[in-house]
Amino acid sequence: MVDKDKDLISALKTGGNKEIAFQLLVKTYQQRLYWHIRKIVVSHDDTDDLLQNVFIKVWKNIDNFREDSTLFTWLFRIATNESLSFLQQKKRRNILSIDGVSDYLVEAFESDAHFEGEDLQKRLQLAVLQLPEKQRLVFNMKYYDEMKYEEMAEILKTSVGALKASYHHAVKKIEAHFEGEK
């Protein structure tokens, strides 16, 4: 995949086949980025808007991509930052408390007609949505996206140790949530 990404970056930067290369980039990463963003903001409609914003930023900034990280990491960093900025804007506009963001996400999840899943999946998602933002993000990236801690550290600009601690705390809180349901 790395060689394909290097070819893709080269095609995007040289301009001759920039539109075709961009279409390939979108086709390659659209689904993974969609689900990454969706796990952060929950709403399908918001996810679609944010995904479009991510690809617009990529289009506008590809020439500034220094390639000191992988294309995957760069794309996920943009998607993560866009998603977290969106939640911060929601918090400021609605004057939500920190708990208010979790409540907002739970409400959005429960009213989402696009979510199809079994009862256990829904219960897990509700438990995850009640985690603090950083723990929720780390849990989703590790559990659902199966990212390595090193990749997450690059995307989130933090240490592997801090990520491991966040993931551990997230798992403990999810376990406690399920224990509390009994």
CATH of domain 117-182: 1.10.10.10
Which CATH code fits 1-115?
Answer: 1.10.1740.10
State the CB neighbour count (10 A cutoff) for residue 79. 26
From first to last of the 182 residues of the chain, give the pLDDT tens digit. 456 788 888 888 886 788 899 999 999 999 999 999 998 988 889 999 999 999 999 999 998 998 888 999 999 999 999 999 998 887 776 655 545 555 666 666 555 655 555 666 777 878 888 898 899 999 999 988 899 999 999 999 999 999 999 999 999 999 998 888 76
DSSP single-letter state for residue 65: -
Closest C-alpha to 6, from 74, 79, 71, 65: 71
The pTM is what? Answer: 0.78
- Residues 141-153: b if buried by 16+ CB within 10 A, e if exposed: bbbeeebebebbb
Distance between CA atoms of residues 112 and 98, nearest Å: 22
Distance CA 54, CA 58 (A): 6
Q: Do 156 and 59 meet the contact criterion of CB atoms below 8 Å apart?
A: no
pLDDT of residue 149: 96
Q: What is the pLDDT of residue 178?
A: 84
Nearby residues of 56 by Cβ (< 8 Å), 6 or more positions away: none
Q: Which of 7, 28, 9, 42 is nearest to 113 (CA)?
A: 42
Q: How far apart are CA 143 and CA 69, in angstroms?
A: 22
**Which residue type occupies 14?**
T
Domain ranges of the chain: 1-115, 117-182
pLDDT of residue 128: 86
